[in-house]
Structure 1
Amino acid sequence: MTTDSFVKRVYDTDLSPSRSVSYLSRPRESAGMEQVFAPWRIEWVRREEKNPDIDECVLCELPERADARENLVVARSERAYVLLNNAPYNPGHLMVVPLAHGGEYAALDDDALLDHARLKQRAFDALDEAVGPDAYNAGLNLGGGPAGGSIDDHLHTHVVPRFDGDTNFMPVISDTKVVVEALEETYDRLHDAFADQPGATVPGEDAAVELAFD
């Protein structure tokens, strides 16, 4: 399946009036930036148990679990890792996360800061190959509260692929199963793209791609 047909399949869903009338609208504009409208995230936001099987920090625990694929950890370096967002705004929405726990960007030491930046650069390369977006939004939510981050004690950079037309009108995915299927396929595509990069090793099919920087 080509990148174009993959993205098209994610968006080609039931848009009958009964499904769409409550949600379809143009995105709001805030501070001059157009926002992605992703109503399929509502179910995830409203879930009663946030992470029922995790007692401590979810971003600390996920990279330590044995099955990286099941936990959406697609690549990792010495001091950071790449995690697919399980309620994506767009196909390919991922997060680049330092392994060190902490919510203060200024607290990252030089090695962690450089490693995080280099892994983020590799993430853009992998997304270019795997998803082929027209643009990106990337940034951090720091401090919680007005910043809007759901996890404010372990910083992470969101990378959201953008496609021509999605700032004007985002279709509703009326069945959350469609999102799950797309997420699994996105993981496979990104896993392959990271594996093709210089210095990459693949310990196993269900393991995150390991990247070594010079």
Structure 2
Amino acid sequence: MTAGDGGPTSVFEQLWTPYRMAYIKGEGKPTGDHDCPFCLIPAMTDEDGLIVSRGETVFAVLNLFPYNAGHLMVVPYRHVADYTDLTTAEVAELGAVTQTAMRVVREVSGAHGFNVGMNQGAVAGAGIADHLHQHAVPRWGGDTNFMPVLGLTRVLPQVLAETRQLLADAWPDHPPAPGPAA
């Protein structure tokens, strides 16, 4: 098969997603801390902002556009773009809150695993590149099927407000302080 007879030009089938060009070009993305959602969320109620927990230097918030149910982000209050610009206290709390997030999501939903990480810069895929945030995405065996892959649809078993409440209720009042391992 060739491009001339309507078939693919290689052994790989292609799915075209031209609507992604707006995302790639940055249309509608915040351009500074005045319109940064991660700067605006802490001023909201926990329910309105989907905040699960507030720490000293970071907060845990549900992703408004989750990859999976229980997809949390750990975000510094300070508007900072790069991981290397975090203070020692911010790095320590970011790690401790990420650990707590994983424990709580595992307890509440029985997650089998997690994708944890951050995209540094727009070219690395950061949707909001100017304000660092770390994702904790719960995973289950078989959670990727034809719906997200071909149907471009995510199946979430619960509305975000209910997920936020379950996680907030299970969140310990004071996550373990970072320190040397015993």
Instruction: Note if 1:61 corresponds to 2:40.
Output: yes
1:213 pairs with one of 158, 163, 177: 177
Measure the CA separation in 1 of the matches of 2:78 and 2:166.
Answer: 27
Return structure 1 stretches of 4+ with deviation > 3 angstroms. Answer: 48-51, 167-174, 178-181, 210-214
1:111 counterpart letter in structure 2: A
Alignment of 1:1-214 (within 5 A): 55-65=34-44, 67-145=45-123, 147-170=124-147, 179=156, 181-194=158-171, 197=172, 200=173, 213=177
CA distance 1:108–1:49, shift in 2 (3 Å):
closer
Measure the CA separation in 1 of the matches of 2:108 and 2:58.
Answer: 21
Does the aligned pair in 2 maintain the 1:75–1:211 contact within 8 Å? no
Runs of at least 5 residues in structure 1 that lack an aligned partner in the other structure: 1-41, 201-209
Runs of at least 5 residues in structure 2 that lack an aligned partner in the other structure: 1-19
Does the aligned pair in 2 maintain the 1:76–1:211 contact within 8 Å? no
Tell me the alpha carbon deviations over residues 52-78 of structure 1, each in whole angstroms, 9 at most, x when there is no partner: xx942211110122x111110110110
**Displacement of 1:170:** 4.3
Does the residue aligned with 1:119 lie in a helix, a strand or coil? helix
Aligned length: 152
Does the aligned pair in 2 maintain the 1:78–1:212 contact within 8 Å? no
Does the residue aligned with 2:90 lie in a helix, a strand or coil? helix
Structure number with larger C-alpha Rg: 2
Measure the CA separation in 1 of the matches of 2:28 and 2:85.
Answer: 30
Q: Select the structure with the greater relative contact order (CA < 8 A; seq sep ≥ 6).
A: 1
CA distance 1:181–1:167, shift in 2 (3 Å):
closer
**104-113 vs 179-188, which deviates more?**
179-188
**Displacement of 1:126:** 0.8
Does the aligned pair in 2 maintain the 1:82–1:96 contact within 8 Å? yes
CA distance 1:170–1:138, shift in 2 (3 Å):
farther
In structure 2, what is the equivalent of residue 13 of structure 1?
none
Measure the CA separation in 2 of the matches of 1:134 and 1:101.
Answer: 32
**Displacement of 1:182:** 2.5
Does the aligned pair in 1 maintain the 2:58–2:94 contact within 8 Å? yes
In structure 2, what is the equivalent of residue 16 of structure 1?
none
TM-score, normalised by the number of residues in structure 1: 0.62
Measure the CA separation in 1 of the matches of 2:176 and 2:136.
Answer: 21
Identity %: 38
Does the residue aligned with 1:83 lie in a helix, a strand or coil? strand
RMSD of aligned residue pairs (Cα, Å): 3.0
Measure the CA separation in 1 of the matches of 2:106 and 2:34.
Answer: 35
